[in-house]
Chain A
Amino acid sequence: MLLTISYEGKQTQDLGYLLYKHPDKIQSFALSYGKAWVCYPEVSDEKTTVALLLDLNPIELARGKLGSKEGGLFDYVNDRPYVASSFMSTAISRVFGTAMSGRCDTKQALADSKLKLTACVYLLHDSNNENLAKEMFEPLGYAVKTERMILDERFPEWGNSPYINLEISGFVKLSDLLKHLYVLIPVFDKQKHYYVSEDEIHKLLSHGEGWLAEHPAKDKIVYRYLHQRKSYAHKAIDKLSESDNMQPELEKMQITSEESAKRKSLNQQRLEAVKQAVLDSKASSVIDLGCGECKLTSLLLNEPQIKKITACDVSVRVLEKAVQKLHYDTMPEYRKNKLNFIQGSLIYQDKRFSGYDCACIVEVIEHIELSRLPAFERVVFEFAQPKTVIITTPNREYNINYEFLPQDELRHDDHRFEWTRAEFQAWTKHICEKFNYICDIQEIGESDENLGTPTQMGVFQKCE
């Protein structure tokens, strides 16, 4: 990975003083995961360019440092050595730390002046998000140029490269340029090279002082810089807003578009509808099959009618998260006794599924291969046989209303199918005939005159 900074003007060799790096030497620096070199490819009165070249040891990235037991964080085959990331920020502060602080014992006046500077970063990972670079650097007064190649010229069908070469130029103090780069390069990076800790907030705030609070993409920067760690991000935003007396815009961090707001409310409506159906069924014991993060479970846990609820998922990791999220370990005894977690699969017969008044299978069946559906049907309707079974699944017809969704695509990568209303109805009919249930179909969400609602729900009752 490579960063160059060019200074154009008169006596531009002074860049060497500002950076505390002699223009005629190649200097090398040891970093925790590799090496850095500083050298000057171009030196003249009119223009001087400094290059910061960074090399990472790929084996250490993969296996951890020699002798360490922790192992590496990355794959052997990795773009880390080539793409500017938080490693670059670390190198900037290590190698150009004094310049970044704005101090220059010999040329303080120059350090305090705005100069014509151009920085080039080879490369940045913007995931083909054309606007990201402009969004980050233009508000700070830079002219932004980017260059992108295709991924592999032998296989044009694989599309464009996710990387760009970035050139920004403007009249700016060198220390500010370095700070901007320090904060904004990691924004492009989705993998950090060390774990995000509380300390990071201080670094971000100190290097963002004086410009970050006014940056229009402030939330995004903080959020991405702190690598999607919401609690740290909240703290950082709080501190920033204190300094400029602005209300924190926390909401924006979770909801970045109208679309996801809609989806959230659909989720809410679905849970409410299922909850109502459970209560209407007079059930007092419920099993939430495919509970995921346990939103429905925690909702039902608050209902006095429900005396026993079991949350079941096929993924242990998901269950562990749910246990944490619900603070199961420290839950009061009375609530805790109502609640139970099990790992189970909907295509293996399971005695633990029996004996419940009601089973809820919310947004789950579309994750099961169609060829495995017969097994699922028997597990639930033949063997577990709850009095009531509540199943929700997307209505495929409604997908046209989702602008973000290309035609004929499903709403989620892991969906194996999505049914039209007619298909769902036909399936419920088949279930009722085969297993002696009756079914009432309900619609959930905003209704489209011709296409129905985004979610469909079947409430099955076992015939006596």
Chain B
Amino acid sequence: MRIEIPELAVVAMIGATSSGKTSFAKKYFKQTEVLSSDCFRAMICDDETAQDVSQDAFHLLYQTANQRLKYGKLTVIDATNLQQNARKQVITLAKEQNVHSVAIVLDLPEKVLLERNQARPERNFPEHVIKKHCLNLKRSIKYLKREGFRFVYILKSQEDIDNVEIVRTKLWNDKKDEHGALDMIGDIHGCGQELRLLLEKLGYVLQDGCYSHPEGRKVAFLGDFCDRGNENVNVLKIAMSMVKSGNAIAVAGNHDAKLVKYLKGKSVQLTHGLDKTVAELNAESKEFRTEVCEFLDSLVSHYVLDDGKLVIAHAGLKQEYIGRGSGRVREFCLYGETTGEIDEYGLPVRLNWASDYRGRANIIYGHVAQKEVQSLNGTHCIDTGCVFGGKLTAYRYPEREFVSVNALQVYCESVKPLALKQEGRIGDILKINDYQGKLYLQTDLLANILIQENQLAAALEIMSRFAADPHWLIYLPPTMSPCATSNLDDYLEHPLEAFDYYQKKGVKNLVCEQKHMGSRAVIVLCRNADVAKNRFGILDGTRGIIYTRTGRRFFDKSEIEIELLNRLDDVLNQTNFWEDFNTDWVCLDTELMPWSEKAQGLLKNQYAPVGNAGKQALASAVEVLEQVKNRTGQGTELLKQYQEKQYAIMKYSQAYGKYCWKVEKIQDFRIAPFHILAVEKNVFSQEKHCWHMEQIKKYMTGIDEIFIATPYLCVDLHDNASIERAVAWWLDLTSKGGEGMVVKPEYFVAKKDSELLQPAVKCRGKEYLRIIYGAEYLNPEYLARLKKRSLNKKRSLALKEFSLGIEALHRFVKHEPLYKVHECVFGVLAFESEPVDPRL
């Protein structure tokens, strides 16, 4: 006997004790697919026959079944399932999980069962139990279909049982091997002329009364062929001929379902344009009407296409319904989900399922007419209300483009004016459950970045309390590791170590960029507030932002931010940046000076007081020691030590003082851009650093004194003279009070085989490091200890954060949903909350 079972289903074994259910399940199903009540009883109390724990055992069994089905795994319930109540639980489970239910009944003669029972002394049941089981089974069999089992198979003898062939069938909605290319068209509603125009625009050719595409593309109709328009029959003819000839696939819409009802002779109200269709159909032959009825009735409610990357359904689909088959799923596909409330136009209020959608598949749907295509979280509603005088829109896949033709007339007045963009970007709000628990992030540069719960919790606090509007945060800069500690006396960091790191990793060409001592500032600038609104979803009328490495607005006073952004815009206009880069927004990575602007608190509360205290206290100590020396001739060494301390604190004060100046007017700021991170169509992580430097010089600096270029030097590691030049340059920079330099591989993203390399390491100057490690850090005893530092943690963080930052930009440029961009940015912040030595 051939038993067909859908790939995803819940299978109930039904049969009296000793009928061989367990052996059957063992023979025909994977061990992990079978949930046996005996096993669950044993699991709880070590005795598989203990009837008194049955209730708990079944509770556990069904919980397990629920989880399995949630993950799309076929599940076999191995229990007697003789009582209607027991079977009802199976049906409920199937409904809950939107899968089909299958009953396999082992209906063996009573005599056989009694004999078998005799032969099993270890679980010998009294005879009357077996007899009762058989009676129950006899009574049940004829009701199984009515109870809700989709497929029922009855095996009446051991021979039957031994000769079973189980065939797992694909679900009707499974078209994963259909890879396209496809053109999705929905909600035609009898707009025949527009349909023909659209098909022609898409390149379809009419041949022998049927449209086909020379490149073999197919149309995917999203349902609602008829009603309201004036060519309902023509539309049906086009669609039917295309589907029949394999030039199209189609799913059903709610109007189609209603038409089927009518054609099958059920009573339906001829409203919402059905009257027009019916009138047209009445002029056709009876055979044609039957053909239409069969066609529409055969339509599946949704398709899963292209290895699960694409889903089509008339009214859309929730993530957990994809690939499932049940009445509930069909209902959703046809009608969507409503709250049960009615809005001011008398229309049902719809639940925004797309807002919760987090699936990997793109979902293309229609059903709700709106002025423009609505895209959210990878779903696109392409019903642009053609029949209401809007347009008929197709979605080209895999090109991911929209192609439309305008309606030639208004065929029907819409009850509710077609909505423009959803007001207030409903559904665009971030949801906490995307950033809780453990997060595994996939980036192009690094796979499987794990973020722990406690890191996420810390990031949530920072993000909520301090960060700017997440719509702006399309990037956060990574932390940067210093070079390994130097072997040279008197130096903690030295460029040779940085060069050595890259040399060992097989990098030949490097770029050294001067490190400006300011504060990291990311700038996002749009050409105007409309761009900010439409591209970024910023509704407060601003056109850009300057934010810190933790996503916080750089300036408390918005006037300063506005003026700096306006001045940058002036520069970009003058240099023709917007046109040359073909964009209306840009994201820049920059250093903003003076340091004292952002670090005011740190300076006033820590750096300056330490300098001040050191200077005074050491002066008093030196005075005392000089008196002692003059009086006793002793203490020369101690005095010398204190004089050295005095010198160190003086150098320390000089060091921080260099990075401070008072900002009285806007021109006192300095901004040094060093990466052009992204524009509308590009993330520039493929470009060399030299390209960035040159473009910045060409388009951004030298015009307005605020925007300054970053001095840099290219190094060839195979050329000793080049290395020496770079070291000399660094010594010169740092001796003049510079912070130091950043050493980067020539390419933005550098790899050795598959290993991602540090995108940059910093090499800080000798004097500068006094403000990091304290005035006296060069004391040989202290320096020896400081040289023992581990970089592994910092370096691993730098890589993860770098990957996440670049990923965030790519996702934004690819128009991925906000929550997908935000998770990367959130990840960077989460890593920054990790307790590492903050001075590294």
Chain A residues within 8 Å of B, Cβ to Cβ: 1-2, 4, 24-26, 37, 39-43, 51, 53, 57-59, 62-63, 66, 75-79, 81-83, 122-123, 125, 149, 151-152, 154-155, 157-159, 161-163, 165, 314-316, 343-352, 367, 369, 371-372, 374-375, 378-379, 383, 414
Contacts and interface: CB of A to CB of B under 8 A. Distances in A.
Contact of B635 (A26, A125, A375): A26
Interface residues of B, number: 62
B625 interface: yes
B606 to A, nearest CB: 6
A1 B772 CA distance: 22
B458 A316 contact: yes
Contacts of B617: 1-2, 82-83, 122-123
Nearest to B433: A351
Which of B458, B460, B611, B617: most chain A Cβ within 10 A? B617
Which of B463, B465, B627: most chain A Cβ within 10 A? B465
Interface stretch (B22-30, B227-235, B774-782): B774-782
B782 A58 contact: yes
A76 B624 contact: no
A154 B658 CA distance: 10
Interface in B556-614: 596, 603-604, 606-614
Given A77-B774, A82-B617, 9 more contacts: A39-B628, A41-B628, A66-B785, A77-B606, A82-B616, A155-B662, A159-B604, A345-B461, A349-B431
A151 B612 contact: yes
Nearest to A23: B632
A366 to B, nearest CB: 12
B613 A58 contact: no
Contacts of B782: 57-59
B157 interface: no
B442 interface: no
Contacts of A79: 609-610, 613-614
27 contacts: A2-B621, A26-B635, A39-B635, A40-B628, A40-B631, A58-B774, A59-B785, A76-B774, A76-B777, A79-B609, A79-B610, A82-B614, A151-B609, A152-B657, A155-B657, A158-B608, A161-B612, A163-B612, A315-B461, A344-B432, A348-B432, A349-B432, A369-B553, A374-B539, A375-B430, A378-B424, A383-B429
A257 to B, nearest CB: 24
A76 B783 CA distance: 12
Contacts of A162: 609
A78 B771 CA distance: 10
A38 to B, nearest CB: 10
A348 B431 CA distance: 5
Contacts of B464: 314, 345-348
Contacts of B412: none
Contacts of B613: 79, 82-83, 123, 125, 161, 163
Contacts of B634: 25-26, 39
Contacts of A51: 624, 628
Interface in B643-671: 653, 657, 660, 662
A41 B622 CA distance: 11
Interface string B754-779: 00000000000000000111111100
A374 B608 CA distance: 40
Nearest to A351: B433
Contacts of A161: 609, 612-613, 616
B657 A43 contact: no
B146 interface: no
A371 B14 CA distance: 62
Given A26-B635, A66-B785, A343-B460, A76 B539 contact: no
B624 A4 contact: yes
A158 B612 CA distance: 12
A42 B616 contact: no
B376 to A, nearest CB: 14
Contacts of B457: 316, 343
B465 A371 contact: no
A75 B606 contact: yes
Nearest to B770: A77
Interface in B74-122: none
Contact of A165 (B596, B604, B616): B616
A314 B624 contact: no
B657 A154 contact: yes
A26 B431 CA distance: 68
Contacts of B628: 26, 39-41, 51
Given A152-B608, A314-B465, A76 B432 contact: no
A76 B772 contact: yes
B632 A24 contact: yes
Contacts of A24: 632
Contacts of A62: 774
A371 B540 contact: yes
A345 B432 contact: yes
B839 A378 contact: no
Contacts of A414: 465
A448 B607 CA distance: 44
Contacts of A37: 638
B432 A77 contact: no
B432 A350 contact: yes
B732 interface: no
A3 B250 CA distance: 92
Contacts of B616: 82, 122-123, 149, 161, 163, 165
B319 to A, nearest CB: 15
A346 B616 CA distance: 49
B774 A39 contact: no
Contact of B772 (A4, A43, A77, A149): A77
Contacts of A43: 631
A220 B662 CA distance: 38
A274 to B, nearest CB: 22
A383 B429 CA distance: 10
A378 to B, nearest CB: 6
Contacts of B603: 158
B227 to A, nearest CB: 34
Nearest to A372: B469
B461 A316 contact: yes
Nearest to B457: A316
Contacts of B468: 369, 371
Given A76-B772, A158-B604, A349 B429 contact: yes
A42 to B, nearest CB: 6
The 4 A-B pairs at the shortest CB distance, nearest first, are namely: A41-B627, A82-B617, A345-B464, A82-B613
Contacts of B653: 152
A122 B620 CA distance: 7
Nearest to B431: A349
A78 B610 contact: yes
A43 B632 CA distance: 10
Interface string B823-840: 000000000000000010
Which of B433, B461, B464: most chain A Cβ within 10 A? B464
Nearest to A345: B464
Interface string B168-198: 0000000000000000000000000000000
Contacts of A163: 609, 612-613, 616
B613 to A, nearest CB: 4
Contact of A350 (B431, B596, B621): B431
B529 interface: no
A125 B610 CA distance: 11
A157 B600 CA distance: 11
Contacts of B775: 77
A66 to B, nearest CB: 7
A41 B785 CA distance: 34
Contacts of A42: 627, 631
B625 A39 contact: yes
B453 to A, nearest CB: 10
A75 B611 CA distance: 14
A77 B616 CA distance: 16
A152 B611 contact: yes
Which of A122, A316, A379: most chain B Cβ within 10 A? A122
A58 B649 CA distance: 13
